[in-house]
Amino acid sequence: MARDDIDITLPDLAGRRVVLTGGSDGMGLIMADRLAAAGADLVLPVRNRAKGEAVAVRLRTKNPGARVSLHDLDLSSLASVRSFGTALTAEGAPVHLLINNAGVMTPPVRPHRLGRSRQRARVQRPTGLQPVEDRAGALRARPR
Ligand SMILES: NC(=O)c1ccc[n+]([C@@H]2O[C@H](COP(=O)([O-])OP(=O)(O)OC[C@H]3O[C@@H](n4cnc5c(N)ncnc54)[C@H](OP(=O)(O)O)[C@@H]3O)[C@@H](O)[C@H]2O)c1
């Protein structure tokens, strides 16, 4: 059966801070492009800085004026997740949208060093983000 293209019109996201994991490739890269085009203040936590820098350049070239910043994050390491959460919290700005996209599809079964599967890395709670998430929750509860 033929499928219709799925498209979603994004609202103006100027002034909205969006954290997107896995924005350096695949579906995340497409989301990053759409979010940057919509004017979001885009935060891309990446495990490969060089790849992230190349993506940021590409996003800024395609979307002049795009606000893109990078952070280091390896979701297979809880220390890295905590460190990212701490760094983000220290910036003091609210996170309006957190998109936990990073992960890999059906990887070979090989537990990482914490015993969780790499596929599930995407649902690992960034514990250090709790204060940021609390603030985002408070914002959601308030009309714009
Ligand atoms: N594609 C599908 O058909 C499909 C279907 C259902 C669900 N999904 C899920 O949708 C998400 C995106 O899929 P995709 O196909 O777009 O994946 P992809 O092309 O493999 O991209 C995965 C992204 O996640 C990042 N990433 C992977 N492991 C990471 C880690 N340990 N720490 C930080 N970043 C990490 C990658 O970073 P690098 O650039 O450094 O590699 C990349 O940016 C995944 O969670 C996947 O399980 C995909």
Q: What is the pLDDT of residues 34-88, one digit of tens each?
A: 999 999 999 999 999 999 999 999 999 999 999 999 999 999 999 999 999 999 9
Q: Is 105 in the pocket of ligand 1 (CB under 6 A)?
A: yes
Q: Which domains does the chain have, with CATH numbers?
A: 17-141 (3.40.50.720)
Q: Is 109 in the pocket of ligand 1 (CB under 6 A)?
A: no
Structure tokens at 71: 């952070």
Asked if residues 37 and 12 have their Cβ atoms less than 8 Å apart, the reply is no
Structure tokens at 99: 């998109």
For residue 102, the ligand 1 atom closest to its alpha carbon is 24
By alpha-carbon position, which residue is closest to atom 6 of ligand 1?
105
> pTM of the predicted model, to two decimals?
0.81
Those residues with Cβ within 8 angstroms of residue 52's Cβ, 6 or more apart along the chain or in another chain:
24, 44, 46, 70
